[in-house]
DNA sequence: TGTACATCAGTGAACGCGCGTTCACTGATGTAC
DNA sequence: TGTACATCAGTGAACGCGCGTTCACTGATGTAC
């Protein structure tokens, strides 16, 4: 947002996405509305119509931006020259750390209630995020590598594991036992099965 | 709902929970409201106040009932006399099948936006559900069983795996590849690492 | 067995609120000549 | 370089809607005597 305001904003589309994400991080889904986001962007609540057909389209664009940040998070922690297992561990930790640091955004990215999950831009961004785990887990050799679809099973296992861990962690279910007592903090990598790579 | 209606309903509390769950299954979270549930129960929308302080309390009671059904689902598929690995596989499949057959209820049960996750009744019901997996994965011996918190790590791995698999499955992300092509259908048990039991 | 009365669990109208959307409008910008 | 004009991207008021909540009320039930 520039200090010298003009009648025309200049970059309202991106500003709406950015302010929407900021509002989401602060207050969660329940605090988001077209009016609140427009107000934060310093614009009347009818202005977004020029850039997004409806609220759902704005949420979808926010989710796509979420995936881009998600990819960046995973890539940021990836050591350049390291063993593949070390890279996999880094990517898994990045996945979970993103979810933990941006719980509301993480939830938005998987919410069919709020986003159009079939949107092309969202699909593209999501595919790139998924691709990070996919690449690293290709050729991952574990107990059932002889069974069909070895690579698919490996990437599905890794993805389920990090995704479930992230969700449960965000629900507070990994830090407190059913009886209410505190649990020792586990990392997602404490919970990956043993494996090696075929190649 | 009885056919001969009286002024006093007789079992409105349970009816509200049941009709709320029915509405949730049919239309998802966005179709739920106090007014809609009351109308479904054949009662004015002020009547629920006598049984639930607010909407959140009703949602929380619905989620608790969800956990009870969740437990029943997992237990229903458990073979009485079978190896522990076979029991674990059955419980995992029950967990995922529940989520797939009741996606909206499953989402409600983990939603801090809608439910009071600290509610005593909800905690009790949730602990029993968690307990099923916990019991079966106690003593599960996998690659890192010598490391600390072996049992905690085992149950966390199993839980993360089934939970993540269920979530991703419900988001449609396990049936369609990033490029849009169809994927072979995997079961959650295709994705569990090898293990044996210590005892 | 009948009556009085407190309590419980409903009714239905009204309230205020925030929402997304619509609409006539207007200021700013870019282009043609 | 100046003017006319189309187009773009805003404004702000108004709309209707569904929501949860409140409130005075009333019918049904249970209990005391």
Percent of chain B with pLDDT over 70: 96
Whether the predicted pLDDT of A72 surpasses 80: yes
Place of tokens 């739920």: B32
Angle in degrees, CA A178, A181, A184, rounded to 5? 100
Q: Write the pLDDT tens digit of every residue in B62-111.
A: 999 999 999 999 999 999 999 999 999 999 999 999 999 999 999 999 99
Distance CA B155, CA B139 (A): 9
Task: Return phi, psi of residue B26, to 5°.
Answer: -75, -45
* Burial (Cβ within 10 Å: 0-12, 13-18, ≥19) of residue A155: buried
Whether the predicted pLDDT of B8 surpasses 80: no
Beta bridge pairs of residue B176: B182
Measured from the Cβ of residue B50, the count of other Cβ atoms closer than 10 Å reads: 10
Which positions of strand D lie within 7 Å of protein CB atoms? 9-13, 18-24, 27-29
What tokens appear for A158 in the block? 């890794």
Question: What length is written for chain B?
Answer: 199
Place of tokens 């007592």: A181
Residues 149-168 of A with CB under 8 A from B: 149, 152-153, 156-157, 159-168
- What global pTM score does this model have? 0.94
A151 within 8 A of A139, measured Cβ to Cβ: yes
Q: Write the pLDDT tens digit of every residue in B31-46.
A: 999 999 999 999 999 9
Q: What is the CA radius of gyration of chain B?
A: 20
Handedness of CA A140, A142, A147, A153 (dihedral sign): negative
| pLDDT attached to residue B5 | 57
B53 within 8 A of B67, measured Cβ to Cβ: no
| pLDDT attached to residue A133 | 97
Which chain A residues are closer than 8 Å to B174 by Cβ? Answer: 156
User: Which residue of chain A is at minimal alpha-carbon distance from B27?
Assistant: A113
Which chain A residues are closer than 8 Å to B152 by Cβ? Answer: 183-184, 186
Distance CA B127, CA B136 (A): 14
**Helix (H/G/I), strand (E/B), else coil: A47:** helix
| pLDDT attached to residue B178 | 84
Measured from the Cβ of residue A28, the count of other Cβ atoms closer than 10 Å reads: 15
Distance from CA of A163 to the nearest CA of B (A): 5
Distance CA A84, CA B63 (A): 42
Inter-helix orientation angle A55-76/A84-101, to 10°? 140
Closest CB to B163 among A113, A167, A172: A167
């Amino acid at each position: 947002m520039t200090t010298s305001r003009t009648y025309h904003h200049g970059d309202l589309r991106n500003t709406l996405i950015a302010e929407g994400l900021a509002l989401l991080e602060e207050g969660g889904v329940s605090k988001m509305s077209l009016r609140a986001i427009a107000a934060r962007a310093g614009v009347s609540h009818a202005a977004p119509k020029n850039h997004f057909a409806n609220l759902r389209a704005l949420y979808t664009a926010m989710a796509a931006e979420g995936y881009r940040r998600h990819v960046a998070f995973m890539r940021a922690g990836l050591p350049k020259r390291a063993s593949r297992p070390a890279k996999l561990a880094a990517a898994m930790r990045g996945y979970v750390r993103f979810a933990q640091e941006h719980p509301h955004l993480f939830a938005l990215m998987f919410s069919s209630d709020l986003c159009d999950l079939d949107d092309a831009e969202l699909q593209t961004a999501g595919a790139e995020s998924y691709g990070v785990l996919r690449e690293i887990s290709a050729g991952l050799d574990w107990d059932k590598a002889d069974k069909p679809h070895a690579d698919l099973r490996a990437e599905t296992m890794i993805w389920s594991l990090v995704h479930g861990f992230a969700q449960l962690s965000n629900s507070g279910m990994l830090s407190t036992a059913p009886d209410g007592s505190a649990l020792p903090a586990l990392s997602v990598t404490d919970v990956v099965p043993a494996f090696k790579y075929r190649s």
